Amino acid sequence: MPTLSPRESGWIEVICGGMFSGKTEELIRRLRRAQIARQHVGIFKPKIDSRYSEDFIVSHTQLKIESQLVETSEEILEKAKYSEVVGIDEAQFFDDSLIAVCKQLAKQKKRVIVAGLDKDYRGEPFGPIPALLSEAEYITKTLAICVICGNPANYTQRLTQDTEQVVIGEKDIYEARCRNCFESPNKP
């Protein structure tokens, strides 16, 4: 049986963790390497998150790479038709149809790299990320540093009283916390 090369096979990579853990930086690093290798790269993010830019994925440290806004995950299928590598940031904001989209892209022999929060502000599984973890060939779990004690932080502490699952923000609304310093809010 012949050995498969990356161009003869597709797969899914998931980069997950809490806020401020470097997920977007890692996504950008992988996508830049693919661009340097002259691979055709399609980069997408959900329309709901245009905090820093509508035309770029931007990390909290201001690293950026050009991207396209999409309303739904299904749009990615059409827009990534000629891409060899597909990058998707803030995947937790998509609905569960993202899972089928990523599987279809991988079946089309594309490398699919997805980044997103695996847990919401309550510490519960967030959006399609848990299901994507079960589909992924490669998983990278990133950790931040707890702002209270300095231990590895796997949780995102919301600092406001908002009870909606999705509240777009950054350091003004969220902090990285470890398991011991995380204060779970009452469930709505």
If you search the block for the tokens 């892209």, which residue do you land on?
A: 105
Structure tokens at 167: 């509240």
| Residues annotated catalytic, as ranges | 90
Closest CA to 160 of 150, 147, 175: 175
CB 115 within 8 A of CB 122: no
Q: At 87, phi and psi to the nearest 5?
A: -110, 135
Amino acid at 115: A
In a 3-state reduction of DSSP, which class is residue 37? coil
* C-alpha atoms less than 13 angstroms from C-alpha of 50 in its C-beta half-sphere: 9
Question: What does the alpha-carbon distance between residue 110 and residue 9 come to, in Å, rounded to a whole number?
Answer: 7
